[in-house]
Chains A and B, each alone.
Chain A
Amino acid sequence: MKRVVFFLALAMVASALAVCTSGSALAAGAIKIGGTGPLTGGAAIYGQAARNGAQIAVDEINALGGVQFELNYQDDEHDAEKAVNAYNNLKDWGMQVSLGSVTSTPGVATSVENNTDRIFAITPSASAVAVTEGKNNVFQMCFADPNQGSASAQYISDQKLGSKIAVIYKNDDVYSSGIFETFKAKAGEIKLEIVSVTTFTEDSQQDFSVQLADAKNNGADLIFLPMYYTPASLIFQQAKSIGYTPKYFGVDGMDGILTLEGFDTALAEGVILLTPFNATASDKRTTSFVAKYKTAHGEVPNQFAADGYDCVYAIYEAIKAGNVTPDLLAPAICDILVKQFTSMSFNGLTGDNMTWGVNGQVAKDPKGMIIKNGAYVGID
């Protein structure tokens, strides 16, 4: 009997302590921000970068005093089903504001949940149109794919970079094929001649000899590469080995190629890309962010890290302007943030004077960069 009483007492102390700890978390008043991204698996580089970038922003904001944030990133392995499970975990944890998903395929799935649950979301980098389409509380920090595709075609035509264009894209990836579709439409509109279109998939992204031979035989002088930099690095190498030297034009996924360990940057000499973020820029915010990222993770941050960082700051500014307090429920915060995002103008690492339309897509200027002597140089 004595023992039972002792255990009961112990249990009561324990529960009292538990109340205390959860009580103190509430008293600190942190707003809970959750996000999903591929932290493991083949796409882990993107998820980890976005998480690390967002964490740096959260640490900076918390150090200022005032509004406090608590960040929770869950792994989705770049898989739609796992992303929804991760999202549900975050909901159980009490997520009040969401960073959506890092990549497009999971992003399409979680944004539906965000919309039904009325939890505000801004994704760092899930650029597919389907992520924001028909959902008035889901926003993007990155360019939507159509904007990248049509901006690229316009840019190539305006700057007279090439007259016969070849495109190689990854047809099992919504990011790559989405950009290609709008590139093709815009090219048709402005009479930019596409002479060769070839594809590859996740399962066949090692050998590009056929695609390059097709571009070469059709006399293409510029190859448009709407893809991430890993397959692109193979394309540069294989083109060189067959003695083919066209110009290359990439999109934001090309960012990161110069920090690829062991990559011969001479292969990427002259590659042009439209990207919102330049890690070698000399402005104070970028240099401070790059320095912090390097100290914490030993690498130069890519565009995904900058997108993650910007997302947290955009939320921070909207929360300050809308007087959001941590005790509000997610749907109430959602209404305030939607109103703020559609009316505010935001300066971040990935662009100045960004604004958002009611469709959730961001308006900002893409920066044209060219790789010279192993570094990005702005064109405009």
Chain B
Amino acid sequence: MLAALLRFNFLGGLYMSFLSHLISGVSLGSIYAIIALGYTMVYGIAKMLNFAHGDVIMVGAYVCFFAVSRYDMPVIPSVLLAVAACTALGVFIERLAYKPLRSAPSLAVLITAIGMSYFLQNSAQLLWTSNPKVFSSVVGNGSVKFFDGRLSISYNVIVTVLACIIIMSVLTWFTGRTKMGKAMRACSEDKDAAQLMGINVNATISMTFAIGSALAAVAGVLLCSVYPTLMPTTGSMPGIKAFTAAVFGGIGSIPGALLGGTLLGVIEIFAKAYISTQLSDAIVFLVLIIVLLVKPAGLLGKQVQEKV
């Protein structure tokens, strides 16, 4: 009897720790996913990897941080301000750095994006110094508790997951149902043909950047709400992980970004918890390699035949 009870408790403990690791994984994954949505959106339409995306996230987080902590603005206007600032920044970057290269080889655009990423990081450092700042969560630091407090889910995680799902649904609806969205898909299929059909390709691509950057601001605010250290380099590593997540899920696919991000977060946390904290990154990328070997276009990516 006693043995059975102990056994139950032991298994219960294992089950509980599994659940709490799963929640951590989803929490980390939803952050990757929300960044990956921006990456995949821009790649899907403009067919370019915007490596400066992670740094736009950082700018968004800084804007929100200063609005809240220096100017005592309420949370919602601060987030809206960050969204507005990032949208303006995204359009400005696109106009300045990417538009002149519209007909250049994609490699040139890629290198420009990397340059833009460093430019943003170093400008942030000049403006706001390299001293880290602690971001106070826009959601509040409480959590919902289950099983007598043995399991807790923080409000941050709930809001991030919800935001992810809402953004994904809105983007799917937008690209599938609206006129602008259809124009975007047309541009992504064939720029020249779209132009011939009377679509303003330049304006459409600028619009894509505006949306991608607005998403970056939301991602920045949520990223720093969950992991509150804010530095000029804050966006770069999550940006790269999110890019990985986007490729994992199938780059260009909006539901793929959500799936890829969440899976990447869960695999990372499980690898840390059940295999080794030392090897976790190696395991994450090993899984990525295996998935790409089996499905080169990613989990939900479309296999597009190259026309010759």
Q: Which residues does A use to contact B, with CB under 8 Å?
A: 40-42, 44-45, 48, 171, 198-204, 206-207, 209-211, 213-214, 217, 230-231, 233-234, 237, 241-243, 259-264, 299
The answer to whether B69 and A262 have CB atoms under 8 Å apart is yes
Residues of B within 8 A of A230 (CB): 132, 229, 231
Which 8 A-B pairs rank lowest in CB-CB distance, beginning with the nearest? Answer: A44-B130, A262-B134, A209-B24, A206-B227, A263-B134, A210-B272, A261-B133, A42-B233
**What is the count of residue pairs linking A and B with beta-carbon distances less than 8 angstroms?**
101
Find chain A residues with CB under 8 A from B229 CB: 206, 230-231, 233-234
Given contacts A207-B28, A262-B134, A262-B136, contact A42 B143 (CB under 8 A): no
Which of B21, B129, B134, B237 gathers the greatest number of chain A CB atoms within 10 Å? B134
Chain B minimum-CB-distance residue to A212: B24
User: In whole angstroms, how far apart are the Cα atoms of A130 and B143 in the complex?
Assistant: 46
- Cα-based distance from A299 to B131 in the complex (angstroms): 10
Q: Are A40 and B238 in contact (CB under 8 A)?
A: no
Q: In the complex the two chains form, what is the Cα distance from A241 to B133 in whole Å?
A: 19
Which residue from A44, A210, A261 sits with its C-beta under 8 Å from B273? A210
Specify which of B130, B231, B237 is in contact with A48 (CB 8 Å cutoff).
B130
Stretch of B91-99, B186-194, B245-253, B276-284 that contacts chain A? B276-284
A264 to B230, CA, bound (A): 14
Rounded to whole angstroms, the CA-CA distance of A205 and B28 in the bound complex is 12
Which of A48, A171, A204 is packed against the most chain B CB atoms within 10 Å? A204
Residue of B nearest to A264 (CB): B134
Contact of B17 among A207, A213, A260 (CB under 8 A): A213
Interface centre among A42, A217, A230, A241 (most CB of B within 10 A): A42
Tell me, rounded to whole Å, the shortest Cβ–Cβ distance linking B154 to chain A.
Answer: 6
Contacts of B129 in A (CB 8 A): 45, 48
Q: Which residues of B contact A231 (CB under 8 A)?
A: 229
- Does B135 touch A at the CB level, under 8 Å? yes
Q: How far is the CB of A278 from chain B (nearest CB, A)?
A: 19
Determine the chain A residues whose CB is within 8 A of the CB of B152 once the complex forms.
Answer: 241-243
B133 touches A260 (CB 8 A): yes
- Given known pairs A40-B125, A210-B277, the reply for A202 and B237 (CB within 8 Å) is yes
Contact for A203 among B20, B131, B141, B237, CB less than 8 A: B237
B122 touches A40 (CB 8 A): yes
Q: Which A residues lie within 8 Å of B277 (CB)?
A: 198-200, 210-211
The docked-state distance in angstroms from the alpha carbon of A262 to that of B241 is 26
The reply to whether A209 and B269 form a contact with Cβ atoms under 8 Å apart is yes
Q: Which residues of A contact B132 (CB under 8 A)?
A: 45, 230, 233, 260-261
What are 19 sample pairs from A and B whose C-beta atoms fall under 8 A apart?
A: A40-B130, A41-B233, A44-B130, A48-B130, A203-B237, A206-B238, A207-B24, A207-B28, A207-B268, A213-B17, A213-B273, A217-B17, A233-B134, A241-B154, A261-B132, A262-B133, A262-B228, A263-B134, A299-B131
The residue in chain A whose Cβ has the minimal distance to the Cβ of B28 is A207
Residue of A nearest to B154 (CB): A241
A276, B272: Cα distance in complex, Å: 34
The one of B228, B231, B237 in contact with A237, judged by C-beta atoms closer than 8 angstroms, is: B228
Asked if residues B21 and A210 are in contact (CB atoms below 8 Å), the reply is yes
Residues of chain A contacted by B228 (CB below 8 angstroms) = 233-234, 237, 262
Give CA–CA (A200, B28) in the complex, Å: 15
Instruction: Kindly state the separation between the CA atoms of A153 and B132 in the bound complex, as whole angstroms.
Output: 29
Instruction: Determine whether B149 belongs to the interface, using a CB cutoff of 8 Å to chain A.
Output: yes
Q: What 0/1 readout, one digit per residue, does chain B (41-54) give for beta carbons within 8 Å of chain A?
A: 00000000000000
CB-based contact A234/B227 at 8 Å? yes
Contact A243 B21 (CB under 8 A): no
* Complex Cα gap A339–B24 (Å): 56
Contact partner of B21 among A200, A209, A263, CB < 8 A?
A209
B65 in the interface, Cβ–Cβ < 8 Å?
yes
Residues of chain B lying within 8 A (CB to CB) of residue A217: 17
Kindly state the separation between the CA atoms of A67 and B269 in the bound complex, as whole angstroms. 58
With A209-B20, A213-B20 already in contact, the answer to whether A243 and B149 are too (CB < 8 A) is yes
* Chain A, Cβ-Cβ closest to B278: A199
Question: Closest CB of chain B to A140's CB: distance in Å?
Answer: 24
List B residues 81-131 near A (Cβ within 8 Å): 122, 125, 129-131
Whether the Cβ atoms of A204 and B20 lie closer than 8 Å is no
Q: What distance in Å separates the Cβ of A376 from its nearest Cβ neighbour in chain B? A: 18
Report A259 CB to chain B, min CB distance, Å. 8
Complex: how many Å from CA A63 to CA B13?
67
Which residues B133-155 have CB closer than 8 A to chain A?
A: 133-136, 141, 143, 149, 152, 154
- Cα–Cα distance between A204 and B272 once the two chains are bound (Å): 10
Asked whether B227 lies within 8 Å of A203 as measured between CB atoms, the reply is: no
A242: chain B residues at CB < 8 Å are 152
Interfacial chain B residues near A264, Cβ < 8 Å: 134, 136
